[in-house]
Amino acid sequence: MDRKEFRYFRKKLGKTQLQMAQLLGVSLKAVHSYEQGWRSVPSYVERQVFFLASRVQKNMENRSPCWVIKNCSSEKKKQCPAWEFNAGDLCWFISGTICDGTVQKKWAEKMKFCRSCDILKSLF
Protein backbone atom coordinates (compact mmCIF):
# COMPACT_ATOMS: atom_id res chain seq x y z
CA MET A 1 0.00 0.00 0.00
CA ASP A 2 1.44 3.33 -0.98
CA ARG A 3 0.83 6.70 0.66
CA LYS A 4 -1.93 7.67 -1.76
CA GLU A 5 -3.89 4.47 -1.10
CA PHE A 6 -3.49 4.88 2.64
CA ARG A 7 -4.82 8.43 2.52
CA TYR A 8 -7.64 7.40 0.15
CA PHE A 9 -8.84 4.73 2.58
CA ARG A 10 -8.52 7.02 5.61
CA LYS A 11 -10.74 9.56 3.87
CA LYS A 12 -13.12 6.84 2.68
CA LEU A 13 -13.49 5.75 6.30
CA GLY A 14 -14.13 9.37 7.28
CA LYS A 15 -11.37 9.40 9.90
CA THR A 16 -8.92 12.04 10.96
CA GLN A 17 -5.27 11.10 11.17
CA LEU A 18 -5.60 10.79 14.96
CA GLN A 19 -8.70 8.59 14.70
CA MET A 20 -6.97 6.41 12.12
CA ALA A 21 -3.95 6.02 14.37
CA GLN A 22 -6.21 4.92 17.22
CA LEU A 23 -8.07 2.45 14.99
CA LEU A 24 -4.82 0.93 13.75
CA GLY A 25 -3.03 0.92 17.10
CA VAL A 26 -0.19 3.05 15.80
CA SER A 27 1.08 6.51 16.67
CA LEU A 28 -0.15 9.70 15.06
CA LYS A 29 3.40 10.21 13.82
CA ALA A 30 3.23 6.83 12.06
CA VAL A 31 0.07 7.89 10.21
CA HIS A 32 1.74 11.17 9.22
CA SER A 33 4.73 9.19 7.98
CA TYR A 34 2.60 6.78 5.94
CA GLU A 35 0.76 9.64 4.25
CA GLN A 36 3.92 11.62 3.54
CA GLY A 37 5.72 8.56 2.20
CA TRP A 38 8.47 8.81 4.80
CA ARG A 39 7.66 5.34 6.10
CA SER A 40 6.23 2.40 4.19
CA VAL A 41 2.89 1.04 5.36
CA PRO A 42 3.54 -2.26 7.17
CA SER A 43 1.62 -5.31 5.99
CA TYR A 44 -0.31 -5.61 9.28
CA VAL A 45 -1.53 -2.01 8.87
CA GLU A 46 -2.45 -2.54 5.22
CA ARG A 47 -4.42 -5.63 6.17
CA GLN A 48 -6.31 -3.75 8.89
CA VAL A 49 -7.08 -0.83 6.57
CA PHE A 50 -8.53 -3.16 3.93
CA PHE A 51 -10.55 -4.97 6.59
CA LEU A 52 -12.04 -1.72 7.93
CA ALA A 53 -12.85 -0.54 4.40
CA SER A 54 -14.56 -3.84 3.63
CA ARG A 55 -16.90 -3.42 6.59
CA VAL A 56 -18.25 -0.03 5.49
CA GLN A 57 -19.07 -1.02 1.93
CA LYS A 58 -22.66 -0.35 0.94
CA ASN A 59 -24.82 -3.33 0.03
CA MET A 60 -22.50 -5.83 1.72
CA GLU A 61 -25.31 -8.34 1.96
CA ASN A 62 -25.82 -8.26 -1.82
CA ARG A 63 -22.25 -9.25 -2.66
CA SER A 64 -21.64 -12.70 -4.05
CA PRO A 65 -19.02 -14.81 -2.29
CA CYS A 66 -15.68 -15.32 -4.01
CA TRP A 67 -16.34 -18.97 -4.79
CA VAL A 68 -19.40 -17.95 -6.83
CA ILE A 69 -17.55 -15.17 -8.65
CA LYS A 70 -14.57 -17.46 -9.33
CA ASN A 71 -16.82 -20.44 -10.15
CA CYS A 72 -14.87 -22.77 -7.86
CA SER A 73 -15.44 -26.50 -7.99
CA SER A 74 -16.80 -28.35 -4.95
CA GLU A 75 -13.38 -29.91 -4.41
CA LYS A 76 -11.61 -26.57 -4.49
CA LYS A 77 -14.14 -24.98 -2.12
CA LYS A 78 -13.67 -27.77 0.44
CA GLN A 79 -9.92 -27.00 0.52
CA CYS A 80 -10.34 -23.24 0.86
CA PRO A 81 -10.52 -21.49 4.24
CA ALA A 82 -12.68 -18.68 2.81
CA TRP A 83 -15.40 -21.25 2.06
CA GLU A 84 -14.82 -23.15 5.31
CA PHE A 85 -15.41 -20.00 7.36
CA ASN A 86 -18.12 -18.59 5.07
CA ALA A 87 -16.01 -15.51 4.38
CA GLY A 88 -16.40 -15.11 0.64
CA ASP A 89 -16.05 -11.33 0.88
CA LEU A 90 -12.88 -11.62 3.00
CA CYS A 91 -10.95 -14.15 0.91
CA TRP A 92 -8.18 -11.55 0.42
CA PHE A 93 -7.90 -11.22 4.22
CA ILE A 94 -7.60 -14.92 4.99
CA SER A 95 -4.26 -16.64 4.59
CA GLY A 96 -4.21 -19.99 2.85
CA THR A 97 -6.81 -19.34 0.16
CA ILE A 98 -6.24 -21.10 -3.15
CA CYS A 99 -7.72 -18.74 -5.73
CA ASP A 100 -5.04 -19.26 -8.35
CA GLY A 101 -4.58 -22.96 -7.60
CA THR A 102 -1.80 -22.53 -5.05
CA VAL A 103 -1.77 -21.49 -1.42
CA GLN A 104 -0.21 -18.08 -0.86
CA LYS A 105 1.69 -18.26 2.40
CA LYS A 106 2.90 -14.69 2.83
CA TRP A 107 0.87 -11.49 2.77
CA ALA A 108 2.99 -9.75 0.12
CA GLU A 109 2.76 -12.81 -2.15
CA LYS A 110 -0.99 -13.04 -1.64
CA MET A 111 -1.58 -9.34 -2.26
CA LYS A 112 0.14 -9.49 -5.67
CA PHE A 113 -2.60 -11.88 -6.74
CA CYS A 114 -5.48 -10.31 -4.80
CA ARG A 115 -4.91 -6.77 -6.09
CA SER A 116 -5.90 -7.97 -9.56
CA CYS A 117 -9.06 -9.66 -8.25
CA ASP A 118 -12.54 -8.12 -8.39
CA ILE A 119 -13.26 -9.04 -4.77
CA LEU A 120 -10.53 -6.78 -3.38
CA LYS A 121 -10.95 -4.21 -6.17
CA SER A 122 -14.50 -3.64 -4.96
CA LEU A 123 -13.03 -1.82 -1.95
CA PHE A 124 -11.55 0.90 -4.14
Give the per-residue pLDDT at 62. Answer: 67
Give the per-residue pLDDT at 93. Answer: 87
Secondary structure (H, E, C), 60-100: HHHCCCHHHHCCCCHHHHHHCHHHHCCCCCCCCCCCCCCCC
Give the per-residue pLDDT at 94. Answer: 86
Give the per-residue pLDDT at 41. Answer: 95
The list of the chain residues with pLDDT below 70 reads 57-62
Give the per-residue pLDDT at 59. Answer: 52
CATH class of 3-56: mainly alpha
Give the per-residue pLDDT at 58. Answer: 60
Contacts (Cβ under 8 Å, ≥6 apart) of 54: 89, 90, 93, 123
Domain limits of the chain?
Answer: 3-56, 61-121
Average pLDDT, the chain: 87
pTM of the predicted model over 0.75: yes
